[in-house]
Amino acid sequence: MSIPRIIRATYKGVILLGALAFISGVLFSLYEGKTLGTSLYWALITMTTVGYGEIYPTNGAGKVIAVILACCGILLYGYLGAVILTVQMESSLSGVFGMSKCKFKNHFIICGWTPVSEVVLLELLTANRDVAVITEKQDDVAIIKRIQERGKVFPIYGDPSKNEILSQANIKWARVIILCMEDDSKNLITALHIKEINPKARIIVKTSRAELKKTMKIAGVTYVVTPHEMAGRLIASAAFEPEVANFVEDVTTGVDLEGYDLQQYTIPAEHTGTIAELSKKLRKHSNTTLVGIAKRKPDKLSREEKWEVYPNPQDNIKVRTGDVVILLGNDAQFKKVREYLGTLQGR
């Protein structure tokens, strides 16, 4: 139940209730000759229809005031009770049907509910991320809600390409927005809206058409994924190097906590040095393998943050504050990495 919403919905009725009690108290004081404090006490008690009986009207004018006050009190209390009940029901139904506002900050937003979206959601929840999911099908809200048991998920029903729905997902405070809608034109329109509202957010788009990659990049998309291309590469690999395909499948998921995963960590100042030094320390403390490093790439012409990834880096490469290392390990090993580096997974 939202206390602020109840206050906004009932404050006029409460003011009217107070004004009615005050005016009735003043009139009762004039006609019955009671003190103002006693008359106000009588007015409040009469409005609730309790009437203890120690104070009562003794003339016609006082009785008329008492009758009017009691009737108005019953109506106003009934009205306020109905308003509070309505607000509570609306709040509950909004949550059930995905129409309430998300309060997450620094969170992830998935636009569109597809088989790809479900995989993305499970991976993000495994990484302990807060996720809002926008779907255009109301039936999907119940499906998404069932996944809430695995982590913080906030389902929203509506069209992701509309600003009011993006606002409902708290887009201004979002960290990453993932566009998984089947309609590529809607993905493009939504990306443009997002860049206007939150230019600092990272936007990732799933598209089935590789020729749209350049267009998406121009629209401000950070990363474009074509599942068909990725699936095709994995299938081709499985055809003649099945062990490599099995390895890639294992290390690209974090849902299986018993398997291996690839994770990235930002390097703090106290752990700078060379690749050889850092790799040796990480192996000693966590038994993870350093398989890559990413460094910021200066780009004065673009407002976007550019990064260059170096797989299997040479031992003499310098590791500076803010660089990102890519590690291979399992869940238990990554816990030791977080303790050693003092940073969380991801960027």
Q: Could you tell me which residues come within 8 angstroms of residue 197 by beta carbon, excluding any fewer than 6 positions away?
A: 163, 166, 167, 171, 172
Tokens matching residue 14:
């409460």
Reported as type and span, the H/E element at residue 126 is helix 115-126
What is the architecture, at CATH level 2, of domain 3-96? Orthogonal Bundle (1.10)
Three-state secondary structure call for residue 324? strand
At CA 278, angle to CA 277 and CA 284, rounded to 5? 95
Quote the pTM value.
0.67
Distances (CA, A) of 141 to 50, 149, 154, 178, 212: 47, 14, 9, 18, 30
d(CA 347, CA 262): 14
Q: Could you tell me which residues come within 8 angstroms of residue 167 by beta carbon, excluding any fewer than 6 positions away?
A: 197
Tokens matching residue 316:
């003499």
Q: The tokens 């590690």 sit on which residue?
A: 327
Q: Are 98 and 156 in contact (CB under 8 A)?
A: yes
At CA 104, angle to CA 337 and CA 122, rounded to 5? 55
Which one, of 250, 248, 246, lies nearest residue 331 by Cα?
250
Q: Could you tell me which residues come within 8 angstroms of residue 311 by beta carbon, excluding any fewer than 6 positions away?
A: 291, 292
Tokens matching residue 169:
């997902």
What is the architecture, at CATH level 2, of domain 258-341? 2-Layer Sandwich (3.30)
pLDDT of 97 reads 47
| DSSP 8-state assignment for residue 174 | E
Q: Are 178 and 202 in contact (CB under 8 A)?
A: no
Q: Which fold has domain 107-225?
A: Rossmann fold (3.40.50)
Distances (CA, A) of 144 to 62, 118, 122, 129, 273: 61, 9, 11, 15, 44
- What digits encode the pLDDT tens for the residues 79-130? 888 888 877 776 665 554 445 788 899 999 999 999 999 999 998 998 889 9
At CA 106, angle to CA 342 and CA 263, rounded to 5? 45
d(CA 57, CA 42): 10
Q: What is the DSSP pairing of strand 174-179 with strand 107-111?
A: parallel
Q: What is the DSSP pairing of strand 273-274 with strand 318-319?
A: antiparallel
d(CA 290, CA 265): 11
d(CA 216, CA 31): 78
pLDDT of 204 reads 94
* Domain positions in the chain: 3-96, 107-225, 258-341
Digit-by-digit pLDDT tens for the chain (347 residues) are 467 777 888 888 889 888 988 998 899 888 888 888 888 888 888 887 776 677 878 888 888 888 888 888 888 888 888 888 877 776 665 554 445 788 899 999 999 999 999 999 998 998 889 999 999 998 898 888 888 776 789 999 999 999 999 999 999 999 999 999 999 999 999 999 999 999 989 999 998 888 888 888 888 898 998 888 888 888 998 898 999 888 888 888 767 667 789 999 999 999 999 999 999 999 999 999 999 999 988 765 555 668 899 999 999 999 999 999 999 999 899 999 999 999 988 88
336: phi then psi, degrees, rounded to nearest 5: -70, -35
